[in-house]
Each structure stands twice: as structure tokens, then as C-alpha cells.
Amino acid sequence: MTLMSHRIFRCHQLPRLNVRAVHGRYRVHRHAVWICWLLVTVGTIVGAASPGHAWNPTVGERLSGLIGEKDSVAVMDDRDQLLYAKHIDQSRIPASTLKLLTSLVAIHTLGPEYRFRTDFYGGGDHALKVKGYGDPLLISEVLSEIAGQLADRLSEPVADLILDDSYFQKPLIIPGVNDSLNPYDAPSGALCANFNTVYYQRQNGVYVSAEPQTPLLPVVMDRIHRTGLDHGRIVLSHNKQELLLYAGQLLAYFLSEKDLPVQGDIRPGRVDPATDRLILAHRSPFTLVQVIEKMLEFSNNYVANQLLIAAGARAYGPPGTLDKGVRLLKDYLEQQMGMQGAVFEEGSGISRKNRLTARVMLLILDRFTPYRHLLQQDGPVWFKTGTLHGIRTRAGYIEGGGDDVYRFVVLLNSNRHSAARIVSIIQKGLEEE
């Protein structure tokens, strides 16, 4: 999985975000203002802008003609004044805009500079043991670097390669994830590689990898042959330890490339810190904020739930479970934002059972303001989209003149219009005098 691949998830080194500086600029805790705001009459249309902010009231009329009973739209300025609101307290399916909350929870729990760890131990009889902690970016290039570091530390060939994925409960069943060949249906796990997805193609009658830095491994060949396709992808599963063995076989391949072959079995097992010797405590080359930026850019469901489950394990103790991650989402909303009533099934937005209101999303956007430049940009608009069958959502920011930053939420659950069209109208309403 190349760092520059656009197929699923492209990563590169990014300038570090000065989190302290941005938090100093924006008001993260504004309890008194929010309490007053919650007293605003629900479901009404606000047509007047706050002092100093232009808002064309005729735009509200245009929006109202496009918003159905199953839709919610809200616009708020940076003084926490609603410029427009329709159905903002009705629960809607957020789709992938839920990733904004998942990102906030991960940052709050793990820290913006957090780097995922993967530990390597020496066991008895020259065994090499690997313990994963949910790193979503354990990709081929990273594993190749790890193999080089291990080769520098180990003087003899590896006997058995033992894989410990006990930090996450398994199997992890994510509501909304199906058994398909689509990358957004990739399963979660504590020790995974290349997003649990394998790309292949046929050349001269022989299957080869579609990515030069990643070999085709024995654990996936049977499934590739069964597809009968000349090119495509397969998504690994928990069946027969497939995703775990894939990670192990991939590491073994790169170890052999470094003249450190695995001579025994590649199998599941457990690390015993009391008797096993720590050889390498690997830390991801990517900070959490860097992971989140690319997760949002490509709307990667696998990465979102990896972050949520890892954060849940940090907050409530291992093993990481989906229930702990969902609990963390709810606790964050209630304890950090003073909001209740949202329904969460997972952290990516792929489940149609997720529910929240536009009012809650405005609060999420308020907290996410320091990180808004991690989002997709279209001129002065920074936003996250969401799409499911019959669902179109969009949430983000419109930067006005000076330091003005407007927040908008568009949750369309009626499949009548496009979220992009609604945002375009909102933008014009802010620009027109």
C-alpha cells in the first residue's frame, strides 16, 4: 500500500499543527453562551443576522423551499448566533459527518501528537512475537522499515513468528459493514496491515500485486483465484484468522528481504511481558492529527473505527471493543458538551442506525474549529461530506472576511436535493448584502 496511493488512503508527512496556539484563538468552553443558545425556539427559521454579519433573509426563504420534513439545516456565526435553523432538533442519520465527532474523541482521549505503537518481543526458542495496538497505518512501507530495525537487533533467524492481536476484542462486528469487496467494508483489528485490503492484477496469465511495494501472499491467493477476475481487490476477514495471518506473512516477507527469514510457523499467540524480552517498541511515523487528516480526506471507515476502538481501550481499559468506543462517543457528548439523545452504533457513519441532531453537529463543529483545515476545501468552504443510500450530508465552515468563521450543518435524509446545492445557497446568503 503505497504512501502516495489514491486508491484508498494516501499519507505523507505534514507540518505539525500548533494545537496550543489554535486553542488559544478559539473559545472551546463557552457554557454560558451555549445555555442561552439552547433556549432558542426549536425548529424555527432565523432570518436576521447578528450585528456585523450580513445575511440575506431571502436566502432563508429559498432554503425552506428545499428542506423536507426529514431534513435539517443550520447556519451559525462565530458569535454563536443562529442565522438560519430548520428542524435542528430532529434526529437524523449523519453518515460520514460522524467522523468529525470520532476525530474529536480520539484527539481528546489519545492526544493530537499520539503515535500508535506496535511492540516486538523475543520469546523462547528464537520466536519473534508481535503485539498490535490498532495502528491503522501499518502499511507495507512501514513494515519494511520495521523489518530493517529488527534485522539490526536480531543476530539469528526467526523460528516462529507469533502474532498477538488481543488488544482488541475479536471478531469486531461493525454495524453497517458488509461482506463485500469494497474498502469501506474492511474489518477492524488490533494487528492489521494495508487496511485489510489487497489489490491484484493478472499479467501473462499469472496473478501479481497491483502495487509494486506489496507482494501477493499465500494467505490471499485462494480467494483471488476464486474471483476469476483479471484485476481487482479483496477485503480480508476474520475468517480463519485471515487478516492476522496476512499481517504476519507480510512482515515475514520484509524480514526475508532483510536477510532475516522466518523458519518456523506464522501463528496467533500471546505476548507474556513477564518472560518475553522487548526488542523494539515501534511508534508510527504518523501523528494522530496526520492520520485524521487523511482519514477525513478519503472518508476511510476502517481508520475511523480503528481510532474509536483504540480510544475506547485507552479510556476504559483493554481489550478495545466497539461498545467501549460507542460509550466514549456518548460520554464525550454528555460530559464535554452537555448534550444527550444521540444514538451511535459505530464511529465511521456507515451504520444507518447512527442518529444525531443538527444542533449537536453545530456543537461538534465548534469544538472542531481549531482543526477545520484538516477538512476538504473548496474556496472559503471547509467541509466533510456524508453519503449513504438516500442520505446526503455535509458539515463544515465558511470563512468570511477578517476572522469570521461560520458553521453550517446540512443533514438531508429525504433524498430530495444535494447537500452541495444547499451549501452553495448558504454561501451566497453570507456573501450578499
Q: Is residue 380 part of a domain?
A: yes
Residue 288 confidence (pLDDT) above 90: yes
Residue 54: what pLDDT?
66
Mean per-residue pLDDT, 367-381: 97
239 and 102 together in one domain: no
Is residue 331 located within the same domain as residue 368?
A: yes
Q: What CATH number is attached to the domain comprising 136?
A: 3.50.80.20
pLDDT band at 171 (very low <50, low <70, confident <90, very high): confident
| Same domain? 237 vs 199 | yes
User: Is residue 78, in this structure, part of any structural domain at all?
Assistant: yes
Q: Which domain holds residue 303?
A: 19-111+290-431
Return the H-helix or E-strand segment holding 365: helix 358-368
- The answer to whether residues 181 and 322 belong to one domain is no
Which pLDDT score is estimated for 276? Answer: 97
pLDDT tens profile 139-167:
999 999 999 999 999 989 999 999 999 99
**Strand 161-164 relative to strand 128-132: parallel, antiparallel, unpaired?**
parallel
Same domain? For 217 and 296 the reply is no
What is the share, in percent, of the chain residues with pLDDT greater than 90? 75
Residue 11, pLDDT above cutoff 80 = no
Write down the pLDDT at residue 239. 84
Determine the average pLDDT of the residues in 422-430. 93
12 in any annotated domain: no
Residues 316 and 266 in one domain: no
DSSP letter, residue 375:
S
Long-range contacts (CB closer than 8 Å, 24 or more residues apart) made by 317-323: 318/166, 318/167, 319/166, 319/167, 319/168, 319/169, 319/190, 320/134, 320/167, 320/168, 320/169, 320/190, 321/168, 321/169, 321/172, 322/169, 322/172, 322/173, 322/174, 322/346
Q: Output DSSP code: residue 41.
A: P
If you average pLDDT over every residue of the chain, what do you get?
A: 88
Res. 257: pLDDT tops 70: yes
Q: pLDDT-derived band of residue 432, with 50, 70 and 90 as boundaries? A: low
CATH number at residue 423: 3.40.710.10
Give me the pLDDT at residue 50, please.
Answer: 46
What pLDDT score does 23 carry?
A: 40
The amino acid sitting at 8 is I
Mean pLDDT, range 255-277, rounded to an integer? 97
203 shares a domain with 87: no
Could you tell me which residues come within 8 angstroms of residue 230 by beta carbon, excluding any fewer than 6 positions away?
A: 201, 202
The answer to whether residues 33 and 72 belong to one domain is yes
Say which range, 121-125, 286-290, 292-296, has the weakest mean pLDDT.
Answer: 121-125
Segment 107-112 mean pLDDT: 98
pLDDT of residue 55: 76
Lowest mean pLDDT: which of 116-130, 176-190, 375-389? 176-190
Domain's final residue, options 284, 314, 332: 284
Which of the listed ranges 6-10, 111-115, 414-418 does the model predict with the highest average pLDDT? Answer: 111-115
Residue in the block written with cell 453545530: 362
> 386 in a domain, yes or no?
yes
Per-residue pLDDT, 182: 73
* Domains in the chain, number: 2
Do 129 and 274 belong together in one domain? yes
* Short-list 266, 222, 263, 260, CA closest to 248: 266
**Residue 35: inside a domain:** yes
Q: What distance lies between CA 45 and its chain's CA centroid?
A: 33
Domain boundary among 259, 284, 309: 284
- Confidence (pLDDT) at 169: 96
Give the model's pLDDT for residue 53.
56
Tell me: do 124 and 99 sit in the same domain: no
Boundary (domain end) residue, out of 243, 269, 284: 284
Q: pLDDT digit string (tens) for 12-61?
A: 333 333 433 334 333 444 444 444 444 443 444 554 444 445 678 788 88
Question: Do 218 and 171 belong together in one domain?
Answer: yes
Q: Is residue 336 part of a domain?
A: yes
